[in-house]
Amino acid sequence: MVSIFRIFPILALLALAGCFSPSADFPRGEAAYAVMPAADPAATRSSYRIGVLDTLSIRVFQEPELTFDQLQVDAGGSINFPLIGEVEAAGQTPIELSRNLERGLGKRFIRNPQVVVGVVQSAAQRVIVEGSVTEPGVYEIAGSSSLLESIARAKGVTRVAVLDEVIVLRTVNGQPMGAVFDLQAIREGKAPDPEILGGDRIVVGFDLLKGAYRDLLQAAPLFNVFRAL
């Protein structure tokens, strides 16, 4: 016979598992915002930041040999430009890259170079939203987004989500970084809404104990603890 008392050890183990936090080593609170700050309200959200494998157009005034209708950013985030060599492009706005190219060309005997950079095709402005959300997946963003907006794209969190365990993962200068945010505090206006960039990965925590109880209730015909098997 199987009684309710045989279920207790299982629930106890699940309770212990529910205490495990994969985000234990990531910064929280103010330290999290130091790593991944909120969007600057004074800045324009439409400032597109170039991503890996984006296709650019680069025009240098009165220099046809230095003008390209299409030039792709490589997997390392750089472009190889004549007279200058390798130039970091990923993470910069088109205007910022234009200014960097002008400075580089100015050192190569081109007087007062005028450079215009455009984005022909975007390849990297996507974020991954996974974990305890209604519709996990890959979502496109226009330049940048916010954590609340990104969660909304995934149709919100599930009933077993841990709202103070929302992890944002990002690669900065080739180095993986992570930070933990409190989604409930952000919703209530008690904490800033961090900026989300193309290439970010968002993981919403899952309460194992809540999930276990939910699964037990859904599987009641199979795990009926009030009757002998």
pTM to 2 decimal places: 0.58
pLDDT of residue 140: 80
- Res 134: pLDDT: 95
Q: Are residues 190 and 139 in the same domain?
A: yes
98-105 long-range Cβ contacts below 8 angstroms, 24+ apart: 101/58, 101/60, 105/60, 105/66
What would the pLDDT profile of 48-105 be if each residue is shown by its tens digit? 788 888 899 999 998 999 999 999 999 888 999 999 999 999 888 899 999 999 999 9
106, 140: one domain:
no
Q: Are 200 and 117 contained in the same domain?
A: no
DSSP state of 5: G
Q: Which helix (H) or strand (E) holds 185?
A: helix 183-187
CATH number, domain containing residue 204:
3.10.560.10
Percentage of residues in the chain having pLDDT higher than 90: 48
Clarify whether residues 109 and 202 are in a common domain.
Answer: no
* Domain edge (last residue) among 89, 121, 153: 121
Q: Please say which residue of 72, 101, 121 terminates a domain.
A: 121
Residue 142: per-residue pLDDT: 65
Would residue 224 count as lying in a domain? Answer: no
- What pLDDT shows up at residue 109? 76
Identify whether residues 27 and 73 lie together within a single domain: no
93 in any annotated domain: yes
Asked if the structure places residue 72 within a domain, the reply is yes
Of 205 and 124, more confident: 205
Q: Where in the sequence is the domain holding 93, given as residue range(s)?
A: 55-121
Q: What is the predicted pLDDT for the residue at 12?
A: 47
Domain identity same for 78 and 132 = no
227 inside domain = no
Number of domains comprising the chain:
2
The predicted pLDDT at position 15 comes to 46
223 exposure class (CB count in 10 Å sphere: 0-12, 13-18, 19+): middle
Q: Distance (Å, rounded) from C-alpha 39 to C-alpha 204? A: 20
The contacts of residue 102 (CB under 8 Å, 6+ apart) are 113, 114, 115
- The model's confidence at residue 23, banded by pLDDT at 50, 70 and 90, is low
CATH assignment at residue 105:
3.30.1950.10
What average pLDDT does the chain have?
80
